[in-house]
């Protein structure tokens, strides 16, 4: 293993992807809020080069592009929460951000970093999944800049593992503007609101029209090696009225489809119970308030 012996701070996307291609063994630094403690604890080993991407203007900013909001990878959680486009169109991300760590960490941690860390409990991942977000990736394998995008659920492979290629950079996350009648909820359950890694988290979204819930999206955090789609729960809800029977069936489907592990934060049994109870509570709340 080679030790960390090189530091680069590219000032454009072009420069960054060229360097990624040339240098090979690179650790990417964005907010640093995970990289610093993970590397100190020995859970992440630095590669030969540390690349600080915070000087790249193309990775900043939140803009509307057609029917979607594009959130630059370097957007901090605080910047995301304060942005008028996010507040108007994606309030779910504002409420999710409110449960994210602490003010100091929200001021440093980035949306792109939270995604690339690929923690099963990452606080923006479940909300972004139910919002149908996709990630934008860039690389430069030859003379031309190569860009591709990928739906968020496909991006995650395992804890800390993604489909990001070695010479590739995550440049942005793209979130479609939700349709009329769209409702969404995110619930994170831990022992205290601040600075806690969730024992479980649940995102529910869909369109409520004439009392019926459709285009349903459900996702769960911290119950599998990656954040996962609640596909059976979605099916139990799609096109239905949110009455007591439907809610009970959906909560049961949620409990049955998750396969969590026991760890320091909660036992598998407790996680399944919480998934059941919180799914029920969220759906009752949606039903009562619309």
Q: Which of 2, 24, 25, 36 binds another protein (CB under 8 A)?
A: 36
Under the binding rule (CB under 8 A), the answer on residue 1 touching another protein is no
C-alpha dist (Å) from residue 5 to 33, 49, 54: 21, 6, 19
Size of the site for another protein (CB under 8 A): 30
Contact 223, 259 (CB under 8 A): yes
Under the binding rule (CB under 8 A), the answer on residue 101 touching another protein is yes
Contacts of 123 (CB under 8 A, 6+ apart): 96, 97, 99, 100, 101, 114, 188, 198, 201, 221
Under the binding rule (CB under 8 A), the answer on residue 264 touching another protein is no
Under the binding rule (CB under 8 A), the answer on residue 102 touching another protein is yes
Q: Which of 15, 95, 107, 215 binds another protein (CB under 8 A)?
A: 107
Q: Which of 14, 15, 21, 78 binds another protein (CB under 8 A)?
A: 78
Under the binding rule (CB under 8 A), the answer on residue 191 touching another protein is no
Q: Which of 18, 21, 32, 232 binds another protein (CB under 8 A)?
A: 32
Q: How far apart are CA 232 and CA 224, in angstroms?
A: 15
Look at the alpha carbons of 248, 252, 258, 260 in this order and tell me if their dihedral is positive or negative.
positive
Under the binding rule (CB under 8 A), the answer on residue 193 touching another protein is yes
Under the binding rule (CB under 8 A), the answer on residue 3 touching another protein is yes
Nearest Cα residue to 140 out of 5, 6, 10: 10
Q: Region of 195 please: left (phi>0), alpha (psi -120 to 50) or beta.
A: left
Binding site for another protein (CB under 8 A): 3-7, 9, 29, 31-33, 35-37, 39-40, 46, 50, 52, 54, 78, 101-105, 107-108, 193-195
């Amino acid at each position: 293993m080679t030790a960390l012996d090189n530091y680069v701070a590219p000032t454009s996307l072009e420069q960054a992807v060229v360097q990624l291609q040339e240098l090979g063994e690179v650790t990417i630094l964005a907010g640093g809020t995970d990289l610093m403690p993970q590397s100190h604890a020995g859970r992440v080993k630095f590669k030969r080069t540390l690349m600080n991407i915070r000087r790249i203007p193309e990775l900043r900013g939140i803009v509307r592009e057609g029917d979607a909001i594009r959130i630059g990878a370097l957007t901090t959680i605080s910047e995301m929460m304060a942005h008028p486009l996010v507040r108007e169109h994606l309030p779910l991300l504002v409420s999710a951000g409110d449960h994210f760590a602490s003010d100091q960490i929200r001021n440093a941690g980035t949306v792109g970093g939270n995604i690339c860390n690929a923690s099963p409990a990452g606080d923006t991942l479940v909300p972004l999944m139910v919002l149908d977000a996709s990630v934008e990736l860039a690389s430069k394998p030859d003379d031309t800049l190569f860009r591709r995008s990928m739906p968020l659920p496909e991006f995650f492979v395992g804890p800390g593992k993604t489909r990001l290629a070695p010479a590739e950079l995550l440049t942005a996350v793209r979130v479609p503007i939700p349709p009329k009648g769209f409702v969404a909820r995110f619930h994170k359950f831990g022992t205290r609101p601040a600075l806690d890694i969730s024992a479980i988290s649940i995102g529910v979204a869909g369109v409520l029209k004439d009392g019926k819930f459709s285009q349903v999206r459900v996702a769960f955090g911290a119950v599998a090696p990656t954040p996962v789609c609640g596909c059976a729960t979605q099916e139990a809800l799609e096109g239905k009225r949110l009455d007591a029977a439907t809610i009970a069936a959906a909560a049961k489907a949620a409990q049955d489809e998750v396969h969590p592990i026991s760890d320091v934060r909660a036992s598998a049994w407790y996680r399944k119970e919480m998934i059941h109870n919180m799914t029920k509570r969220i759906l009752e709340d949606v039903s009562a308030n619309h």
